[in-house]
Amino acid sequence: MIKRKLTDRLFDFLAHFPVIGIVGPRQVGKTTFVKNNIQNFEKETLYLDLESPEDYNKLADAELFLRQHENKTVIIDEIQRKPDLFPILRSLVDRNRLPGRFIILGSASPELIRDSSESLAGRIAYMEMNPFDIDELNGVKSMEQLWLKGGFPDAVLEDRDDISSHWTQNFIKTYIERDLPLLGLKAPVMTIERLWSM
């Protein structure tokens, strides 16, 4: 396991803020980062992945469900899929303002930042996770490998160059076709691909 630079800050924030928001691009390692640190949390944890229909349905009555777990650190992954949670989290935090109640994970989209900032102002501490940098990979990969493969974990940690390259091309394709339009870029895919290539 590679220790991320944000590890110490995560535990510092857990001791002081009711909500910690970890944002960053897809596939940067947000979920892995939190799951690798769960065993060191002071409280019991509950992990919900909102891309899982089962977990999503647990939040049909989100306030009731989350109140049943108020003594745990509740980790909500892909929170951008359920923006109506933000006012509920604010209400729950205001009723019981303990540190480390919620960790929310999501892609760094304007909507996620806007919605959480409005509802959770004064209750949330943000952490932005980026791809690996050379300090995190020191001794694991060289600067040249990081430069050639980029810092996304699945690409840079892959020993086979052809698999790493294939992963990167698929990631770029998904980013261009799915993520950029969700972020508000309203242009034909071919135009976006040309801009990306330039």
In percent, the amount of the chain with pLDDT more than 90 equals: 58
Contact 86, 118 (CB under 8 A): yes
pLDDT in tens, 50-82: 999 999 999 999 999 999 999 999 999 998 888
Long-range contacts of 128-134 (CB under 8 A, 24+ apart): 128/22, 128/23, 128/24, 129/4, 129/6, 129/22, 129/23, 129/24, 129/28, 129/29, 129/30, 129/33, 130/24, 130/25, 130/28, 131/25, 131/28, 131/156, 132/2, 132/29, 132/156, 133/5
* Three-class SS state of 36: helix
- The closest of 132, 126, 114, 141 to 4, measured between CA atoms, is 132
Residue type, 82: K
Closest CA to 30 of 76, 99, 71, 73: 76
Q: Which amino acid is at 178?
A: R
> HSE on the CB side for 14, CA within 13 Å?
22
CA–CA separation, 1 and 34 (whole Å):
12
What confidence tier does 112 reach under pLDDT thresholds 50, 70, 90? low
Q: Which stretches does DSSP call E strand in 1-135? A: 19-24, 45-49, 73-77, 102-107, 124-128
Q: What pLDDT shows up at residue 114?
A: 66
Q: Using one digit for the tens of pLDDT, what is the confidence trace for 139-174?
A: 777 888 888 888 999 999 898 999 999 999 998 888
